[in-house]
Chain A
């Protein structure tokens, strides 16, 4: 009796070991992203379609998991990578996230040969290639570039109040305009921070706009301290801005705040240009319904958010993956993708006439600005500090204690290994 049950147990154990993916031997490629919302999903679909048409016998598995900025996808990815079950290729941001999470622990493989074969060293800007490289070898094929420091505004509301807008706006002008809306139903600033990262964008924009590109970049290598007086001033300015946001900010998500701006219930929105896609989808017209300037003080600074794809080390289907990455780097594919995604090409030879006024503006700004990284989207600092910043912001938005905030960031930067 006992022998039979033991035998049964052994059989059970063995069969569970073997019940892995039965389709593994067939031609397949698994693409892991967090692009699930309307424009994101259809942008991704254009790329996968090109692949499917060219390689009809390969099964394309779209393993997307919903959640802004990868908040829900990355935990799953992390578990799969550590567990030795990587997808063939996955979406990631450049900089610290790519290097710290995937390259250093040895989960991603170099795509140097692909860059060489396709002549990409000529077609992507050297500064961008440097951002995705370690020891001179690139580890990422960048598909699109977003800008996170744009200040959007509702043109109709400003026109009705007789407020002119130029090509740039200083922070004091922004506060002056905000005062004019103080006793109206309209909130001067839009915010939707159920996901705390949305207010983090406004914080980073204010930080870069107050202390400048050089000092801002210094924060991530320890040459600028979070307790320095200019950083403190930036935090206080950010705290002042919070006084002008819509009352229901804690109940809204970032895209609901964009809808609020589209409806004219609030005026200015400091947010990355993924808002652009949202506004266009709401049926608004650029330069007629909404306008934009650089977030005050960030003229000449481009806070860069990239999306790119890796090659998994020990990818289950390396050949199929390389084909996919090759397609992602093609000019027409990048153009088609970015037109839907509302971002600009990572390649520098895309046809700019296919893009609208905002995206052309973003291209020009990117070309003439200093590109700097962001903590909120993972490129400036390791994941542990990213969490620390989000936690510190959650606290600051309610308590507004600038001193405790900067002290905590300084301490966490030291613990994370980059702050002084």
Chain B
């Protein structure tokens, strides 16, 4: 009888127990293992689990690598470009579709369609689109833009897209002023031109998803609010700027969080589209992890980089989760 009583009291816990155990082993256990590997001397195929001396040397080496510095820069630049573009394009599409236009259902599905593709497919397609020899550069010739430019005495428009190693808007000078150690940066801190096409491709894929999120939000705004705003004399622009977009804020936050974790972990799109790029212009931490782990067999370095990625994602996700739970409790 006691047993039955005990069982019924702990039923919830017992039902959860298998998944708790699996989560503990396969998520937290393996995170711990990766972290441990990052502190060891393991850098060949032969397993070497002795701790490095000093223990954090792999992290120090990694942060001093020009390649990893470029990866961090690229992640920041890509995240800003991609989220900025995806959210504004997605919101724009949602607002357009929210107005009663013909063929609404058709356009909604068309815009959402790229989201159904895998990043690898997107990457391969956009790789060809931005190929300087065969891609959209041919349109510049075809449409006569280059002929017009040459006639005007200017250079023809032949961007290298993902093969352009240039880094524009470099802030190294500025950094070295505000941060005395800034001169030791081995890379240009700026916007790698080659990342822009990658951000465009990612936007193409995910702006439909952003649009769907916003359409859901727009559907939740009652017509009375719109009517009230109109009666108060708000024009279209004013209606969206001061009433509807602020009301969509919770959607924006969720969308940005979801896109953030896409951009922090991005691998397949970049790998298929441009690889590490010229001078690491399009390299990202996930490619770094893959190459160090599976090509160079530097398990400690690959593990260290994946721990850094985990921390970066947690910095975004944990505050969001805390916020959500608090919200729910109150």
Contact = CB atoms under 8 A, between A and B. Distances in A.
B275 A251 contact: no
Given A81-B45, A104-B46, A251-B131, A398 B165 contact: yes
Contacts of A408: 66
A395 B298 contact: no
A60 interface: no
A129 to B, nearest CB: 24
Given A251-B131, A387-B296, A101 B45 contact: yes
Contact of B295 (A2, A74, A82, A100): A74
Interface residues of A, number: 37
B163 interface: yes
B201 to A, nearest CB: 16
B18 A9 contact: yes
Interface stretch (B114-122, B172-180, B233-241, B276-284): B276-284
Interface string B219-231: 0000000000000
Contacts of A386: 295-296
Interface in A87-119: 100-102, 104-105, 107
Contacts of A104: 44-46
Interface residue SS majority, chain A: helix
Contacts of A391: 65, 67, 280
A384 B43 contact: yes
A46 interface: no
A346 to B, nearest CB: 25
A75 interface: yes
A71 B295 contact: yes
Nearest to B158: A247
Contacts of B278: 250, 394, 397-398
Interface residues of B, number: 33
Nearest to A193: B278
A105 B43 CA distance: 12
Interface string A205-225: 000000000000000000000
Contacts of B292: 387
Interface in B127-146: 131-133
Nearest to B131: A251
Nearest to A79: B294
Nearest to A388: B296
A302 to B, nearest CB: 26
A32 to B, nearest CB: 15
Contact of B45 (A78, A251, A387): A78
Interface of B: 14-15, 18, 43-47, 61, 65-67, 131-133, 160, 163, 165, 186, 275-276, 278-281, 290-292, 294-298
26 contacts: A2-B14, A2-B15, A75-B290, A75-B294, A78-B45, A101-B45, A105-B44, A105-B45, A105-B46, A105-B47, A248-B163, A250-B163, A251-B163, A382-B44, A383-B45, A384-B44, A387-B296, A387-B298, A388-B296, A391-B280, A394-B278, A394-B279, A395-B67, A397-B278, A408-B66, A415-B61
Given A71-B295, A383-B45, A387-B296, 11 more contacts: A74-B295, A78-B297, A100-B45, A105-B47, A248-B132, A250-B163, A387-B295, A388-B296, A394-B279, A398-B165, A408-B66
